[in-house]
Amino acid sequence: MLRLFQITGSSSFAARAALEEAGAAYEVANVHPRHRDRDPAFAQANPLMRVPTLVDGESAVYETGAVLLHIGDRFPDAGLLPPVGDPLRPVAYRWVTWIANTLHPAWWPLMIPQFMTTDESAALGIRERGIVNMAKHGDYLERELEGREWCLGDRFSVADIYLYMLVGWQSFVDDVLVGGDNVQGHFARVGARPAIVRARELDDLTPDFQRNHPELRGGEPI
């Protein structure tokens, strides 16, 4: 059975949501953020000890984009990734890779500017630059999603799940909303899907992506 190493409410949410969308049988291994080495199987699967990490038989997959693409391929009947040969397949690669390379790390200057400099006084400027960059990404997304229900048009995919999670992170940061009506409409549409609602409940998240119990991870005190 698939095994997902996760920290509830973190990047692993996207993997769990994709597994729920796929109707996959999987088990979760909750990683405690302060005791990541508690289960040696985690480091064996991912020497970087980051979540999500998905163990599928002899394969260990990590990096959120790779995990999502693998889930898309692993459960073809769920239709979360266009098949090889479909003209939308490379478009799905483009979306997932842009989200992984650009949008995902674009949150770090806003959320953890203090970890991006050794100069304490620089943190504020890093955060401000991060806000400017996030606004540019929001404008790009706003244009890309114009007239589209999902990232790939009328076809739901793992790209929507990844984008949904990262737009949801806006609730962690004061006074930042990603994009405008198109992005926020997409966020609402993905968030209303039954599998996504279930994944949020499993990850102890509210509809606007706050933790119901900020003091807990996987039911354990942080």
Ligand X SMILES: N[C@@H](CCC(=O)N[C@@H](CS)C(=O)NCC(=O)O)C(=O)O
Q: Site residues (CB under 6 A) for ligand X?
A: 7, 10-11, 33, 36, 50-52, 63-64, 100, 104
Q: Say if strands 2-6 and 53-56 run parallel, antiparallel, or are unpaired.
A: antiparallel
Smaller CB separation from ligand X, 155 or 203: 203
Smallest distance, ligand X to C-beta of residue 203, A: 12
Strand partners, 35: 32
Shortest Å, Cβ 52 to ligand X? 6
| Complex with ligand X: residue 107 or 155, whichever CB lies closer | 107
The token duo for 20 is 């729920």
Q: What are phi and psi of 4, to 5 degrees?
A: -105, 115
Backbone angles phi, psi at 13, to 5 degrees: -55, -40
* Residue 5 C-beta: closest distance to ligand X, Å: 9
Residue 100 or 159 having the CB closest to ligand X: 100
Residue 43 or 188: the one with the smaller Cβ distance to ligand X is 43
H/E stretch holding 4: strand 2-6
Residue (69 or 155) nearer to ligand X, CB: 69
Count of beta carbons in the 10 Å neighbourhood of residue 18:
33
Give min distance, CB of 14 to ligand X, in A: 9
Residues 6+ apart with CB under 8 A from 171: 208, 209, 210
Structure tokens that stand for 45 in this block: 């699967």
CB of 149 vs ligand X, minimal distance in Å: 25
